[in-house]
Chain A
Amino acid sequence: MEEKQLIRSCLQGNEEDFKKIMDVYTPKAMAMAMNILGNRDDAEDACQDAFIRAYLNLARFDQEKSFKNWLYSILYRRCLDQLRRRRRTLVLLKKMQKESPAVLSSKPDPRPGDEGLPSRLLHLLKPKERTVLCLWANEGYTSQEIAEVLRCSASTARVYLFQARRKIKKALDKSDASLQVY
């Protein structure tokens, strides 16, 4: 069945057809979430949440537009929510450690979850830049398409992409140089 037909079927209440849509998009969504969050559990949570919201708001989806972009846009927002939640937890942990150091003997990780990023170099990028880079490199998106996902202007997307590419290039050059030294 075609994607549009599946969406129409879901709109009529056939939840099982949404599973077919999910089967197509889950690996892509998981890859994107992993690239942004760097933590498998968080990425799974973000994906689940994104799919639930997508199903519940399917009636609002403009069928003339790309479903993938719409889903990515929801997923991107869920990922940002996960990061915000993580930051709040970190603040709480730090506070707890300050108030009662005996309770928490080990130091909390300054960036919990980020250790799972596919590459250490991605730490240098902000979540927005990671998203843009992922959409550009993995999906071959243009600035206009990236802007649709991020819900910003194409020029803003271009600036994020430029910054991400520049940071990565510098980091790659640096790591190459350090490899040559050793």
Chain B
Amino acid sequence: MLRCRFIDLFYTILPLKIWRDFLIRSHIERCSYCQAELASREAAGSLLMTENEVSLEASLWPQVKAGLVSFKDDRAQAVPLLAQKRWRWAAATAGLFIAGLASFWLLKGYRTEDMANGGKSPDRFRINYIKIEDKPAQAYLYQPGESDLIIIWVQKSP
């Protein structure tokens, strides 16, 4: 009996179901004292509703059948909707792809034109006036070789 109390204490302490199950299988299922602490099948059954006590006023079949029909209708309606949705997505994706392709092509043309001018055109890049501490300063532009890079050097006028 003392052992049973210890087992009961362990059962309360142990957090995992698998450990609790070990206690049930190793002791509780075999111990008559512990078994007496559990409700029998008959006692438990007397509290529960059995199939013989269930009075069915009407069969569930009509509702189930209606449920099946409405599910089929929903599915039938859902198929064209799904197809429409897919087409919309396809059209939107294609539109985006075409727009991307067109902008790439346009930008490429612009860049080619820019390269043809060598980016050197004085009309395109010109410094009109530069000041350092509110005094006119000197600016030097340097563009190495064929590159697009322009280095601007500004210094105070002597």
Contact = CB atoms under 8 A, between A and B. Distances in A.
Interface of A: 15, 18-19, 22-23, 26-28, 30-31, 34-35, 44, 47-49, 51-52, 55-56, 118-119, 121-122, 133-134, 136-138, 140, 153, 155-156, 158-159, 162, 164-166, 168-169, 172
Sorted nearest first, the 9 A-B pairs with minimum C-beta distance are A155-B21, A119-B47, A27-B51, A168-B39, A137-B45, A165-B38, A137-B44, A169-B39, A118-B49
Nearest to A118: B49
A48 B67 contact: yes
A23 B90 CA distance: 48
Interface string B119-157: 000000000000000000000000000000000000000
Given A30-B56, A48-B67, A172-B43, A22 B61 contact: yes
B60 A48 contact: yes
Given A134-B48, A137-B44, 6 more contacts: A26-B59, A118-B48, A133-B44, A155-B22, A159-B24, A162-B20
Contacts of A158: 21, 24-25
A23 B45 CA distance: 23
30 contacts: A19-B65, A22-B59, A22-B60, A23-B61, A26-B56, A31-B48, A31-B49, A31-B53, A48-B60, A51-B60, A51-B64, A52-B71, A118-B49, A122-B47, A122-B48, A133-B44, A136-B41, A138-B45, A138-B48, A138-B50, A155-B17, A158-B25, A159-B21, A162-B24, A164-B39, A165-B38, A165-B39, A168-B44, A169-B38, A169-B39
B68 A15 contact: yes
A67 B59 CA distance: 20
Contacts of B38: 162, 165-166, 169
A150 B146 CA distance: 76
Contact of B48 (A22, A35, A159): A35
Contact of B49 (A26, A35, A49, A55): A35
A156 B44 contact: no
Contacts of A56: 68, 71
A52 B67 CA distance: 7
Contacts of B71: 52, 56
Nearest to B61: A19
A164 B47 CA distance: 12
Contacts of B43: 168-169, 172
Contacts of B22: 155
Interface in B1-54: 17-18, 20-22, 24-25, 28, 37-39, 41, 43-45, 47-54
